[in-house]
A = this chain, B = another copy of it.
Amino acid sequence: MPEILGHNFIAGARSAAGPQRLQSLDASSGEALPYSFAQATEGEVDRAARAAADAFGAYRQLSPLRRAEFLEAIAAELDELDDHFIAIVCRETALPSARIQGERGRTSGQMRLFAQVLRRGDFLGARIDLALPERQPLPRVDIRQMRIGVGPVAVFGASNFPLAFSTAGGDTAAALAAGCPVVFKAHSGHMASADLVACAILRAAERTGMPKGVFNMVFGGGVGEWLVKHPAIQAVGFTGSLKGGDALCRMAAERAQPIPVFAEMSSINPVIVLPGALAKRGSAIAQELAGSVCLGGGQFCTNPGMVIGLRSQGFSQLLDALGQHLQQQPGQTLLNAGGLRSYSAGLEHLQAHAGIAHLAGQPQAGQQARAQLFKADARLLVESDPLLQEEVFGPATVAVEVADQDQLRAALLGLRGQLTATLIGEPDDLQAFAWLVPLLEEKVGRILVNGYPTGVEVCEAMVHGGPYPATSDPRGTSVGTLAIDRFLRPVCYQNYPQALLPEALRDGNPLGLRRLVNGQWREGAI
């Protein structure tokens, strides 16, 4: 394993121009770890963004197969990261080693999945309208279209996924797949982990002959603003708080050239438990739900922060049982001290609200987070009370008991945009409540039936997105292969000679793509 230098990664080299060093901390004890990191200067951020811009032309023009080889080389390097690496990530995040081992596999798997997308080639969106010289009243000339990368992408790592949503995480994989060099802003919560992963990416880049500057990484507070405002940056990927995401969106919109920001921000992920399921398996649901609420210290974007049911003995029993499970949960160390402060503040806001009652959960004490269950008056949801809509990042959930189907509808209409919504129901429930499906479709990015929203599969059909404030742009996803679309834009070639056309659009179809030719999907040459 390489030494953890703690220098910024710029154009394939390391740089520590400024005087300030940042310390990596043990998440459990708060002690300083023996790693420190060079706070990037404005000049270094500028150089990193320029390095990405310099790499863009060559990198985006590599064949998709060459980019696939790069992603696969990154995957192989990630798989090689050893137990010592795992131990460092665990110390920085207080996450258990089994989770980090799993996340390492998820992260390399994600790279390989995007490599498959590159090999398949449909992300190029190749379209050809052949010339119609005889058309009346005017002939049509030859017109072809494909998608290219938007340019250098700034990616902000998430606190809660030190691997899968950080340095070599989903946004980085999607951007690199799209042909966009990356400038990554390391999260302050796991800088040593980030350093080791960035070294792995650089090894892969060297091994596969990628242009210098295809991947860059900067450390430090405040560098994000320089990055988002840098003229070379053409898009932003972010996973974090609503406040942080909103601020980046504002900065990006106020640039001389505004750029898109794909921010995954805040979701309370309602779980709706229907009567038949309550009657048949309420006790199992309480246990499963408690598990989902507490998984990973509740530090998932898809944590079920709201449980909704129709007023009934069954729902009261569910809440009793859920409360008992949460009451019994041991304290959990969160990712960092800031996370614990936010969680405690979120609980205090809920506790202070007249329409919200505390049902279960041991008092917060010391450095660990305790699971909590609250119950809110359904009218708060109907009236879109902002407090109820705020994500409390940690092992807490709020129950909402509605009087009847009408109030259920009104309550759900009062919800803001969400990453997920979940229906727990028996077949009869789902038939009786079929009206929920179209309503939820308009509110969320993913609807689950008889499952729990934590655990986001990385696959072709996943959507980890949704209407604001779940994300800043509901037309994207940050998990799954459709994530590549965020970083692509179409270019049209009119009346081009064959030799000048990109390979994807040549008559002979050397990339073997399926293309839309004169409005029909066709394989092979023209």
Q: Which residues of A contact B (CB under 8 A)?
A: 56-57, 61, 102, 116, 120, 122, 125, 127-129, 137-138, 140-141, 143-145, 148, 150-151, 249-250, 253, 257-260, 416-417, 427, 430-431, 434, 437-438, 441-442, 444-451, 455, 457, 459-463, 465, 467-469, 472-475, 477, 480, 482, 486, 488-497, 499-500, 514, 516, 518-519, 521
CA distance A447 to B146 in the complex (A): 12
Minimum C-beta distance from A355 to chain B (A): 21
Contacts A444-B491, A463-B492, A475-B490 supplied; 10 other A-B pairs, CB < 8 Å: A57-B438, A120-B519, A125-B482, A140-B457, A143-B459, A257-B469, A260-B473, A447-B491, A449-B497, A474-B489
Determine whether the beta carbon of B516 is less than 8 Å from that of A460.
yes
22 A-B residue pairs with Cβ-Cβ distance under 8 Å, sorted by A, are A61-B438, A120-B519, A122-B516, A122-B521, A129-B462, A140-B459, A143-B457, A145-B461, A145-B463, A257-B416, A257-B467, A258-B468, A260-B475, A430-B497, A430-B499, A431-B499, A445-B489, A462-B492, A465-B490, A474-B489, A475-B486, A477-B490
CA distance A105 to B294 in the complex (A): 61
CA distance A457 to B135 in the complex (A): 12
A-B CB proximity, top 3 nearest: A463-B492, A145-B461, A446-B492
Determine whether the beta carbon of B477 is less than 8 Å from that of A463.
no
Determine whether the beta carbon of B141 is less than 8 Å from that of A492.
no
Contacts of A141 in B (CB 8 A): 451, 457
Known: A102-B137, A143-B457, A143-B462. A447 touches B493 (CB 8 A): yes
CA distance A260 to B249 in the complex (A): 12
Contacts of A465 in B (CB 8 A): 489-490
Contacts of A102 in B (CB 8 A): 137
Known: A457-B129, A467-B257. A451 touches B494 (CB 8 A): yes
CA distance A375 to B474 in the complex (A): 45
CA distance A230 to B317 in the complex (A): 42
Contacts of A445 in B (CB 8 A): 489-492
Minimum C-beta distance from A209 to chain B (A): 19
Contacts of A462 in B (CB 8 A): 129, 143, 145, 492
CA distance A499 to B432 in the complex (A): 13
Determine whether the beta carbon of B442 is less than 8 Å from that of A57.
yes
Determine whether the beta carbon of A468 is less than 8 Å from that of B257.
yes
Residue of A116, A127, A463, A477 most packed against chain B (CB within 10 A): A463
CA distance A263 to B468 in the complex (A): 20
CA distance A329 to B448 in the complex (A): 65
Determine whether the beta carbon of A519 is less than 8 Å from that of B116.
yes
Determine whether the beta carbon of B449 is less than 8 Å from that of A494.
yes
Determine whether the beta carbon of B514 is less than 8 Å from that of A521.
yes
Determine whether the beta carbon of A427 is less than 8 Å from that of B497.
yes
Determine whether the beta carbon of A150 is less than 8 Å from that of B474.
yes
CA distance A232 to B229 in the complex (A): 31
CA distance A434 to B144 in the complex (A): 18
Determine whether the beta carbon of A460 is less than 8 Å from that of B150.
no
Known: A57-B438, A500-B434. A461 touches B127 (CB 8 A): yes
Known: A129-B459, A253-B250, A482-B490. A442 touches B151 (CB 8 A): yes
Residue of A57, A437, A469, A494 most packed against chain B (CB within 10 A): A494
Contacts of A500 in B (CB 8 A): 430, 434, 437, 449
Which residue of the partner chain B has the closest CB to A496?
B449
CA distance A129 to B492 in the complex (A): 32
Minimum C-beta distance from A458 to chain B (A): 10
Contacts of A116 in B (CB 8 A): 519
Determine whether the beta carbon of B140 is less than 8 Å from that of A450.
no
CA distance A480 to B257 in the complex (A): 25
Contacts of A491 in B (CB 8 A): 441, 444-447, 463
Contacts of A463 in B (CB 8 A): 145, 490-492
Which residue of the partner chain B has the closest CB to A444?
B491
Minimum C-beta distance from A416 to chain B (A): 8
Contacts of A473 in B (CB 8 A): 260
